[in-house]
Amino acid sequence: MALHRKKSQATKCNRFLISITVFGSAGPIRFIVSEEELVAAVIQTALKSYAREERLPVLGTNLNNFMLYCPGPETEALSPWDTIGSFGVRNFMLCKKPDAGNATKENKLPAISRKSSGSWKSWFHKSTSPKISSH
């Protein structure tokens, strides 16, 4: 009996909660995934959840138009064929792919227009802070 229980635990796939922030949206999308799930499947699930919740801006459902990023100093798009559990993180950012005419490299984070210097991370933290700025 103990062997049976041990075997079922060994074949069980680890699942965990991830949080995906969609660039330009109000808040993250959260759902549970298997660590063996491909990045492409995670993008597709995120787009379906986003549409089901009727969030704005409207994104569409073509997963080939989007890239998923891990937070970190060297931000590059994740390969759609990698497993989501291989990155060791639970928070991701989903962005639309840049237009072919404007992109210098496909796998780099698209440029974010900004008035002051800083990264998309600082912009993100400023946009989610509870402070209300008056202009």
pLDDT digits (tens, 9 = 90+) for 56-82: 888 888 989 999 999 777 778 999 999
The residues spanned by each domain of the chain are 13-128
pLDDT at 16: 95
> What's CA 37's distance to the chain center, in Å?
14
Whole-prediction pTM: 0.65
How far apart, in whole angstroms, are the C-alpha atoms of residue 116 and residue 135? Answer: 16
Domain 13-128 = CATH 3.10.20.90: yes
Looking up tokens 């800083």 gives 118
pLDDT at 71: 79
